[in-house]
Amino acid sequence: MTIALRTFEAKDGWPALRRQFAGRLPEADLALLDEAVAFAADRHGAQRRPAGEPYLEHLLEAVRVLVDGLGVTDVDVLRAAALHDVVEDTDCTLGEVRERFGPRVAELVDWVTKAPRAEGESREEARSAYLTRLQGAPQDVLLVKLADRLSNVQRLDTHPRPEKRRSYYQETLRSVVPLAQAHPWFDEWYATWTEAFAHLG
C-alpha cells in the first residue's frame, strides 16, 4: 500500500510562491519577506542541496510548510525560516541578521544555527549537543526547525548517499520527531513520514 505523504515544493521560485500567499499575508509582510528571500538568495548564491536542487528551494519549502501546512502568519517566523541557514552555511554573521531584520528574527536564526565545534569535539558530539539544546527551545524556534527538517526529509529517497538516508531517518526519529509532539499538524505529518520511510529504519 502506498502511503500518501503531503510534500511541499518551491521549484517555481519566490515570485510564484508570493502570488500564492497574496490574500493570506498582508502586502506589508510580503514586502518584508521579499527582503529576507532576496538576502538569503544573495548569501547562498550558487549553493546546491545534496540532490542537486538550488539551495533557495529548500528555504522556500520551509516557508511554504509554515504558511500552507500550519497557517503561520507571523512574519518574523517566516523570515527566520527563509534565513535559517545563512549564518551556518554562508559568511553572514548573526550581527548582520540582527541589524537587517531585527532582534527577534536574529534570535530565531541563532537557535537553529549549529555552533562551531569546540576543540576536541567530534562532528557527532556537536550535532548531538545541538539537537539536545533544541529540546528547550521556544515554540517559534521549533516551528522553524520542524519546517526545516520536513523540507530535508520529505523526499529522503532522493539523497545521493544511501547510508546518509538511513542515518538521517534514524536521527530524525530519535531527535526531531519528539519535538513535533506539541504541534498536532507536525505530529501527524511526521507520523505519516515515519511510516512512509520505514524501509530506512
42 labelled catalytic = no
Cα 35 from Cα 33, distance rounded (Å): 5
89 labelled catalytic = yes
Selected catalytic residue, list 53, 88, 107, 187? 88
Instruction: Quickly list H helices, the chain.
Output: 13-21, 27-44, 55-64, 75-83, 86-89, 94-101, 103-111, 123-133, 139-153, 162-171, 184-196
Q: For residue 179, give the nearest of 105, 125, 79, 112 by alpha carbon.
A: 112
67 and 75 Cβ atoms separated by less than 8 Å: no
**Alpha carbon distance, N-terminus to C-terminus of the chain:** 18
Selected catalytic residue, list 57, 68, 89, 96? 89
Angle between helices 139-153 and 75-83 (to 10 degrees): 40
As annotated, the active-site residues are 88-89
